[in-house]
Every structure is written in C-alpha cells, then in structure tokens.
Structure 1
C-alpha cells in the first residue's frame, strides 16, 4: 500500500511539473501539487 501511495505521489508531481511548465492550466495544477506533497508527507511519516 505504501508503494502505491509513493507511486501516486510521483505521478502527481510529474503531472504538476508538466502542467506548470507546458500547459499552464491554472489552479488545477496547484491542487495536484498539494495532493502530491500530502501524499509524500504521509509516506515519510508512515515510514
């Protein structure tokens, strides 16, 4: 389960980077970033 959480976080960060630098979709990209950061923090906290 933790590997899945980590994979989702990595995918969200990649999508955020692509959207931020290529498409500039707006606030949706920042929502993806926040979700990815939360997922990474949960991964770090849970070990």
Structure 2
C-alpha cells in the first residue's frame, strides 16, 4: 500500500514497519496503539 514500507528478513518474515507521514494521518497517541494482530498482507513484491 502506498505510504507503508515493510522490512523483511531472508525468510519473508516482517521485522519492521514504517508508515510514511504517520503523524500527519494519525493522532500521536493513537500511533502507539495501532494493532497489527489482524493485519492482512499481500505477498511481497520481489525486487
């Protein structure tokens, strides 16, 4: 999705998540409460 960067390890597991412009889209106190438990991800694009 535009504005989101994922860092993945060699096994394809997510090790980092960056939301570009997060403080412009979300209230700062809400950023620390974003749940990824039910986050549905598509297969990563191989470069």
Q: TM-score range by the shorter chain?
A: under 0.3
Which of the pair has the greater relative contact order for Cα pairs under 8 Å at 6+ separation? 1
Select the structure that is richer in helix. 1
What TM-score results when the alignment is normalised by the length of structure 2? 0.24
Larger-Rg structure? 2
